[in-house]
Structure 1
Amino acid sequence: MTRFDVEAFIDRSRIGATQAMALFVCILVCFIDGYDIFMIGKIAPAIAAGFGEPSEAMAPLFVYQQIGLAVGAFTISPLADRFGRRAMLIFTCLTFGIITLLSVYAQTLTQLAILRGIGGIFMAAGLGMSMAMISEITPKRRRSTFIAVALAGYSMGSASSGVVAAWLLDDFGWQSAFWIGGLVPLICVPLLILFVPESLKFRAERNPSDRSIAKTLRRIDPSVELRGDELFVIEGGETSGRKARLSDVFSEGRLAMTTVIWLACAISMTNTALMSAWLPTFFQEMAGVPIQEFAKVALIAYMGGVVGTLCIGWLMDRLPATMLLAFFYFMLAGALISLSWVPFHSGLFIVVALAWSFFQTGGQGGINTMIAQVYPPRMRSTALGWAGGAGRIGGILAPLGGAFALAQHYSLQLTMTFAATLPICVALLMLLLGLVMRGRRFSDGQPAQA
């Protein structure tokens, strides 16, 4: 049989309609992930008021949501390495969309919290599966950039949640946020079914003799020459159809690397969860800034996240990844402290808020991009999902910390200074990761430069 290198084919192919549609769908998935994470925090006081509860009563909702996200990241993500990225994206988008729409009819805050927790299970792996799909359908020379473009959807989702708080909340209530959050993932389902093929690398590693791979190859490049007796392989990979095991992320010398990445994700996503859940409330309760006013400024600031995500992808194609990420997280710490000292109504506050969003979203996007490149295709979704799961564990504690700061009547300056210690820890872990990764190269895919 003729060996056909799928990896080499993808790397030399041009970007066409198939890759463009896959990118568009992954942008939508990342959009709903960013929207969903930040949406609740921006309208938390309004939701609490709608159920006749104080703002602190929202803490269980944040915790349930983070628990659901953690459970889903550890359980759903590995299924994408078993059944395929496309199949699991269809399932998770459909389920999450329906559950989110049902949330509109919750009668108590407890019911809403339970629905958020269940919904989180099914959408937790969406971003990781999208990153795996993008990394496996795009040429190496554009891979980081395409991942960054998809992750920009996360920042656009964050910004769009501000639209709800700024303009829809007063007229349509908190329920309007859930209508948007439920309909977008449902839109992804027919697009995935009709226009996006399953990952070629996933199929080649599962069954090198799969004849349907040839059809997808011709879909990407009609001029490709195939004889009909090809054995589809990945350069340096197996041809035995080996299935992913959960232990693979720790095997073959990956234990130290995976451990440091998990720690970095846990601390980074703790910071993100804290800010997404409580930042508008911090400014309302500690600085007297109404959530509608903060939402309008945040809407501008989150554009910094879009730029940060695009920049990190472009930069990671050119600079050592771990050094670059350490710089991003040190700058994020400075931006968090500055947010609490710069007057809210000054022009400088918008600049600082833009910097905060730029470095926070760009930094996390950079970590996700790096993960997508240092693990082989057969375990890529598992690696992304489990790293995200480690991050969600930290996210479970973050809402409790925010509620404690409010209950203790901490000042905004003290609260944000404590928060700034989190990105400093991530920066130090990135420097450590550079030492761990230096000199190591894995057989599948090229890791980002250490």
Structure 2
Amino acid sequence: MARFDIERFVDDQRIGPVQLTVLLVCGLVCFIDGFDIFMVGKIAPAIAESYGQPPEAMTELFVFQQVGLAIGAFTVSPLADRFGRRFMLMACCAIFGVITLLSTQAETLLHLSILRGLAGIFMAAGLPMALALISETTPKRKRSTFVALALAGYSSGSAASGAVAAWLLDSYGWQSGFWIGGLVPLLCVPLLMFVVPESLKFRAERNPKDPTLAATIRRMDPRVSLSGDEFFALGQEQDKAQKAKLSDVFTNGRGLMTMIIWSACLLSMTSIALMAAWLPTFFQEMANIPIQRFAVSAMIAYLGGVTGTLTIGYLMDKFDATKMIPIFYIGLACTMIAISLIPFESAIFMPVLILWSFLQTGGQAGLNTFITQIYPPRMRSTALGWAGGAGRVGGVLAPIYGGIAIGNNFTLQLTLGLAAIVPFVVAVLVFLLGRTQQVKDYQGAKAALA
């Protein structure tokens, strides 16, 4: 039986229609993920007002959403390592889209909060599954860049969500954001079904004799000669099918590395969740800046997030990730303090807000990209999902802090000054991550390929 190395085949490929199609469709999934998560925070005061509630009452909705995201990250994301990235992406997009559309009919804030929690279960799985599929379709030399491009879609969704608050809110109400957030994932379902192939690496690890692999290989490269009697292996060491186990992320010396990654993601996503949920409300309640005005600034600023994502992807193809990522998080802590001190009307406020978005989004993109590189394919979606799940646990706590800050009349400077401690700790953790043996092994392999 002839041995066919899937890993080598993918790495030897030129960028072509298959890789670009996977990038575009998975990038759309990332776009709507970013749109939906950040959209709610931008229109939170309007939602509360429509139900006759004060702004701090939105804490309930944010907590429900984050709990749903945490549950989904821990329970739904690993299913992609069992049933396939494409199948689970289709299921999640379909269910999430329907629940989001139903949210437009919520009669009470509690009802809306419950629906957001349910939607979050399936929303949480979209990003890790999409990144896993992209990383397993793209040659190693371009992998970080392609993952970064998909994450730029996430940042673009975040920026686009500002349009709801800036231009659609007054005319069409807060429901307009939920209509967009529900229809786009439903559009992704037929695209995933008909134009995106399942991961070769996932199928080869599950069944090295899978007859469907040959058709996908010929689609990617018609010049490949196959006899029909191949053993499709992932690397030189695989000699049998390997099924994913949830414990894989802790085996073979990965335990310490995984715990540090979880801690870094927990704190990083705590910071992101806090700013996404409460920053417009902080400026409205603590600095008397209407959400429509702040939304325009935030929409422009999130373009910095797209640039940050692409920049970190490029840098990680060139330099040591565990030294580059901490630089982003130290800078993030500094900019959080700066935007609390600089007057909103100042000419320098917008450049600093753009830099904040550049560093926040770029730092998290760096973490996500790094995870796709240091875990093997059979556990990649689980690793991404569980790291995200750890982050969502922090996201549950972040809205509570925002509600306390508003309820106790904290100043903007005190609120963001305390919040800036979090990204600084992330920088320390990622620097320590570079000292673990598994990461050293990855860096050695990367240097050998350079």
Change (3 A) 1:244 1:438: closer
Q: Match for residue 322 of structure 1?
A: 322
Task: Percent identity, please.
Answer: 62
Structure 1 runs of 4+ with >6 Å offset = none
TM-score (norm 2): 0.98
Q: Deviations over 1:46-97 (max 9, x none)?
A: 0000111100110010000000000000000110000000000000000000
Q: Match for residue 264 of structure 2?
A: 264
SS of aligned partner of 1:351:
helix
Change (3 A) 1:418 1:439: closer
Shift in Å, 1:123: 1.4
SS of aligned partner of 1:347:
coil
Instruction: Measure the CA separation in 1 of the matches of 2:117 and 2:300.
Output: 29
Q: Match for residue 46 of structure 2?
A: 46
Shift in Å, 1:439: 6.8
Instruction: Measure the CA separation in 2 of the matches of 1:206 and 1:447.
Output: 29
Q: Match for residue 182 of structure 1?
A: 182
SS of aligned partner of 1:302:
helix
Q: Match for residue 434 of structure 1?
A: 434
SS of aligned partner of 1:162:
helix
Change (3 A) 1:26 1:306: same
Q: Match for residue 358 of structure 2?
A: 358
Shift in Å, 1:236: 4.0
Matches within 5 A, 1:389-408: 389-408=389-408
Deviation larger for 197-206 or 233-242: 233-242
Instruction: Measure the CA separation in 1 of the matches of 2:172 and 2:46.
Output: 12
TM-score (norm 1): 0.98
Is the Cα contact below 8 Å between 1:305 and 1:361 reproduced in 2?
yes
Q: Which amino acid aligns with 1:432?
A: L
Matches within 5 A, 1:289-438: 289-437=289-437
Instruction: Measure the CA separation in 1 of the matches of 2:446 and 2:108.
Output: 50
Instruction: Measure the CA separation in 1 of the matches of 2:447 and 2:366.
Output: 13
Instruction: Measure the CA separation in 1 of the matches of 2:109 and 2:239.
Output: 52
Q: Match for residue 13 of structure 2?
A: 13
Shift in Å, 1:438: 6.9
- Structure 2, unaligned runs of 5 or more: none
Matches within 5 A, 1:200-239: 200-239=200-239
Q: Match for residue 28 of structure 2?
A: 28
RMSD: 1.6
SS of aligned partner of 1:124:
helix
Is the Cα contact below 8 Å between 1:441 and 1:447 reproduced in 2?
no
Q: Match for residue 135 of structure 1?
A: 135
Q: How many residues align?
A: 449
Instruction: Measure the CA separation in 2 of the matches of 1:183 and 1:425.
Output: 38
Change (3 A) 1:404 1:163: same
- Structure 1, unaligned runs of 5 or more: none
Is the Cα contact below 8 Å between 1:68 and 1:121 reproduced in 2?
yes
Q: Which amino acid aligns with 1:372?
A: T
Instruction: Measure the CA separation in 1 of the matches of 2:88 and 2:260.
Output: 28
Q: Which amino acid aligns with 2:347?
A: G
Q: Deviations over 1:415-445 (max 9, x none)?
A: 01001001000000011101114774269x8
